[in-house]
A and B are shown apart, each in its own frame.
Chain A
Amino acid sequence: MPSIGLVTPQQMHFSDPLPLKSGAVLPDYQLTFETYGTLNAERSNAVLVCHALNASHHVAGLDAAGVKGWWDNLVGPGKPLDTNRFFVIGVNNPGSCFGSTGPMHVNAAHAEPGRVWGADFPVVTVEDWVDAQARLVQRLGITQLAAVLGGSLGGMQALAWTLRHPDRLRHCIAVATAPNLSAQNIAFNEVARRAIVTDPDFHGGHFYAHGVLPKRGLRVARMVGHITYLAEDAMETKFGRELKAAVLRYSTQDVEFQIESYLRHQGDKFAEYFDANTYLLITRALDYFDPAAAHGGDLARAFAANPATRAKRFLLVSFTTDWRFAPERSREIVKALVDNRIAVSYAEIDAPHGHDAFLLEDPRYHAVLRHYFERIAGEVSNQGAERRAASKPAPLPAGERPLHPADEGLQ
């Protein structure tokens, strides 16, 4: 299947402070994003893709370094989310470390000029990210997204869209996600955070000033996280008790088993590119996500709160071997939607890959997404035909000026 080819990230600057759930504000920030495909004249074919813990705006295609987007198997010409039909937006969330404003950038508001945010970067939540994304989408001249799609933490953002900005999307597609973290999920996050925070190179989160990186902590954080992404059986099949060398070395510190070697390799790779403060922020955003909390722990009431939410259509997908966000967690969401008589489809894919399955190319999984997006594409073209028949040009949202090149044809 062809890829989109070379894509160039774009930047958008926001001088309007972003109020955060914690009560703090993000004073002035920029978002890095990529787009694929063409926004149609009605501006009705836009799909926002939300990223999970360690991913970015680079969803599909090849970046300048030739690196494929993290969901390139799903997004592209002729792929399940077909960029010949949809205008797809990938955006890096604030607090992350791939170009959008984050803890490694300068805090302009600080008394000390040039002071990097570090640990002072405000705690951001899933809801804050969704609000930031909504502003970007609006600035792109899109009043209503055809769909918001995400997996894992990205799925939480897709759900949060339906609760916070229900008028601004039509479909929510949430894959391998959960309505909140379990005690075990939080426990794993806490182990990862402690590994980072107790690294002597962490310096209370202000390691940038010391010219060091808490790579040891990051490595361990990634190792423990990585275990939760894989199914036990898949790990057994891939590694079992296979040894690194032909004979045991009887060493407590050398790598003996292949699984150790694999995890260390994953940790080393990760520590080279990921920011320690970002890891803390994003795992905290995961911990805090709990839309039912404001409704007495009743998720159905959370979906009931806004009548516009109830008019959305949902697709949920889970994977049978995912023990991080197990199918039961997706079924909780399905139940809350069904209780509200909200339109929902749910597929439970019997894939062997654990949580990671959402990033992989399982034909059953991709078939469900392909068919679902084909339905959305059908709606988009029907609406387009109706509007064209009525020969009314789609108005821009009040006070918005078009920013995207696709707007030029309309002026």
Chain B
Amino acid sequence: MSERKDLELIADLVPAGSRVLDLGCGDGELLAYLRDRKGCTGYGIEIADANVQACVQRGIDVIQLNLEDGLALFGDRSFDVVLQLDTLQHLRQTERMLRETARVGRIGIVSFPNFAHWPNRLQVLTGRMPVTRALPYQWFDTPNIRVGTFADFGVLARRCGLSISDSFGLQSGRVVRRWPNLLASVAVFRFEQT
């Protein structure tokens, strides 16, 4: 996900001039890109001190919060776009966060590592948990407490009453629209509340 090309492909989903909330914004790279290239404004949310400092250094407005505490700070539909990139899998309350994302933003964009990517499936077939570039951790030290697949997310989104306006996979800096559940290491969804 840290790859520049992936970042640009996701930025393409954000309309120019949008008001953006980036949940788990890291060092603010995407927000800086959206600000500089697409005239977007908004805030990043981060929990890690080093990332908060990096955002301040870039001049990105960052609010230090634990996403597990919810988004009570933000009103309904107060952002054009809420981004949740490479973050969902770290959160305990996945469903609640997804509902909160849909409440706060008109458009939600989510990305996460796709557990059903074929190399992962192969490794599981050999009897071991996968260790790949998108999932670089051992089963005992992974920060990803929720592993799901491209297909799984579609089910959860329907359950939360979200309508998916676009979805695709990312693999090696390219968009994968054909069999993304099998062929992409990263899943990307764009959705709205129905």
Contacts and interface: CB of A to CB of B under 8 A. Distances in A.
Q: Do A and B bind each other?
A: yes
Interface of A: 315, 331, 334-335, 338-339, 341, 343-350, 364, 367-368, 371-372, 374-375
Contacts of B19: 341
Given A346-B64, A348-B64, A338 B57 contact: no
Interface stretch (B48-56, B85-93, B138-146, B159-167): B48-56
A409 to B, nearest CB: 31
Nearest to B55: A345
Contacts of B41: 341
A256 B60 CA distance: 52
B73 A334 contact: yes
Shortest 10 CB-CB contacts between residues of A and residues of B = A371-B57, A371-B56, A346-B63, A348-B64, A364-B49, A367-B53, A375-B59, A347-B64, A335-B73, A345-B61
A52 to B, nearest CB: 23
B49 A372 contact: no
Contact of B61 (A331, A344, A367): A344
Contact of A345 (B63, B73, B78): B63
B40 interface: no
A345 B25 CA distance: 13
Specify which of A315, A348, A349 lies most central, judged by the most chain B CB atoms within 10 Å of its CB: A348
Nearest to B66: A348
Given A331-B73, A364-B49, A368-B52, A344 B63 contact: yes
Nearest to A316: B63
Contact of A338 (B49, B59, B62, B74): B74
Contacts of A371: 53, 56-57
A339 B79 CA distance: 11
Interface string B8-44: 0000000000010000000000000000000001010
Contacts of B136: none
B57 to A, nearest CB: 4
Nearest to A363: B49
A210 to B, nearest CB: 52
Nearest to B74: A338
Chain B interface residue count: which class? 20 to 34
Nearest to B62: A345
B74 A347 contact: no
Interface of B: 19, 41, 43, 49, 52-53, 55-57, 59-65, 73-75, 78
Contacts of B63: 334, 338, 344-346
Given A334-B73, A335-B73, A338-B73, A347 B52 contact: yes
Contacts of B73: 331, 334-335, 338
B61 A343 contact: yes
A331 B63 CA distance: 9
17 contacts: A334-B63, A338-B63, A338-B78, A341-B19, A343-B61, A344-B61, A345-B55, A345-B56, A345-B63, A346-B63, A347-B49, A348-B65, A367-B49, A367-B53, A368-B52, A371-B57, A375-B59
B144 to A, nearest CB: 24
Given A339-B78, A346-B62, 20 more contacts: A334-B63, A338-B43, A338-B63, A338-B73, A338-B78, A343-B61, A345-B52, A345-B61, A345-B62, A346-B64, A347-B52, A348-B64, A350-B49, A367-B49, A367-B53, A368-B53, A368-B56, A371-B53, A374-B57, A375-B57
Specify which of B52, B57, B64, B78 lies most central, judged by the most chain A CB atoms within 10 Å of its CB: B64
A364 B53 contact: yes
B53 to A, nearest CB: 5
Contact of A339 (B53, B59, B61, B75): B75
Contacts of A346: 62-65
A345 B49 CA distance: 13
A341 B80 CA distance: 12
A331 B49 CA distance: 17
B60 to A, nearest CB: 8
B172 to A, nearest CB: 34
Contacts of A375: 56-57, 59
A374 B63 CA distance: 19
Contacts of A334: 63, 73
Contacts of A350: 49
Nearest to B60: A345
A331 B62 CA distance: 13
B47 to A, nearest CB: 9
Contacts of B74: 338
A341 B20 CA distance: 11
